[in-house]
Structure 1
């Protein structure tokens, strides 16, 4: 008779998988994807190293799953910030602010998600991640156009441009300000950076009153 997993066994496996993903995400936040080795993930999650491969067939799949795990949370935070009864411009600003603030508060993770060189398998996930943000902004732009708050435009094109601007505008301040030991340096005025980035994005969508 073929072996069939019990509900308890499935729940235990799911719990272990979640522990592995959280441990891997924390390692990425500390040192990038290079830090999320199988041995390091096993040690951080207090799981036997060999058991990792029961959940992830290889390192590339582990990293890809960690990328999905991390980005779903980040995208969710931005989406949640835009779900208010405010004007379209204010909703857009809320989403942009959350994106930028979380990147500034977690620069290592932000760089890993935005620009760190990765395996092609993970690069596919990065594209999905950018598209997810673009879909949020596209819906907001459509709403803003209908409400007369934003200029008439191609929402999908502008949304993609916003995602690109956010990523490129933050990479420099976050990761080029390094000392001789390549340590990350704090941003002099993060709120000013966020304000200028928000203003740039509002000009891009042709906001009429902000």
Structure 2
């Protein structure tokens, strides 16, 4: 039979893994991936580098796990926003606003999620991250098409293009330190509704 750790031992290992990940989140939010060496994460967590390797085989595995943890929080926030009341267009606007506002509130972390050069393992996770956002928007677009609010289109293709455009539009402000600009979020919402063929109040 395969060896199974006693529950108390597994609980300690899980707690240590969580401790390492939370330390990595704090460090990445300040320094980006470039500052997230195993030694730096261990120092942030107040443990030895050897203890980090008890939870992760190396930096690549740790970086991928860190990306998944951060991305899951962002996807959950956008999913919650998309589930709110209103028309399909209003829900798309709420989701875009949440995505962009959260990025601009934590520019270093958002840049790491969206565009910072990373290991191939993290690049793979980044694709999963974008597809998760695509799926959130695709559901809203499909509902809008079904109700007649939006013109006929392929929801998955439009959603993928929308996520790519919004992400790319944020990279510049995040990298240039212009994240405090008050024009970014309204402009992205307007662009998104126009791209979908929805009604934009300012056009009336």
TM over 0.5: yes
Q: Deviations over 1:86-116 (max 9, x none)?
A: 2111111111001000111100011101000
Equivalent position of 1:180 in the other structure: none
Moved over 2 A (4+): 1-4, 184-187
Equivalent position of 1:181 in the other structure: none
Q: Distance in 2 between matches of 1:175 and 1:43?
A: 27
Q: Distance in 1 between matches of 2:112 and 2:196?
A: 28
> 175, 197, 200: which one pairs with 2:191?
200
Q: Distance in 1 between matches of 2:2 and 2:62?
A: 28
Quote the offset at 1:186 in angstroms: 4.9
CA, structure 1 residues 38+151, in 2 after alignment: closer, same or farther (shift >3 Å)?
A: same
Number of residue pairs matched?
201
Q: Distance in 2 between matches of 1:147 and 1:195?
A: 25
**Does the 8 Å CA contact 2:145/2:151 hold for their aligned counterparts?**
yes
Output the TM-score relative to the length of structure 1. 0.91
Q: Which runs of 5+ in 2 are unaligned?
A: none
CA, structure 1 residues 185+91, in 2 after alignment: closer, same or farther (shift >3 Å)?
A: closer
**Does the 8 Å CA contact 2:193/2:200 hold for their aligned counterparts?**
no
Equivalent position of 1:175 in the other structure: 175
CA RMSD, Structure 1 to Structure 2 (Å)? 1.6
Q: Which runs of 5+ in 1 are unaligned?
A: 177-183
CA, structure 1 residues 146+42, in 2 after alignment: closer, same or farther (shift >3 Å)?
A: same
Q: Deviations over 1:5-24 (max 9, x none)?
A: 22111111111101111110
Equivalent position of 2:25 in the other structure: 25
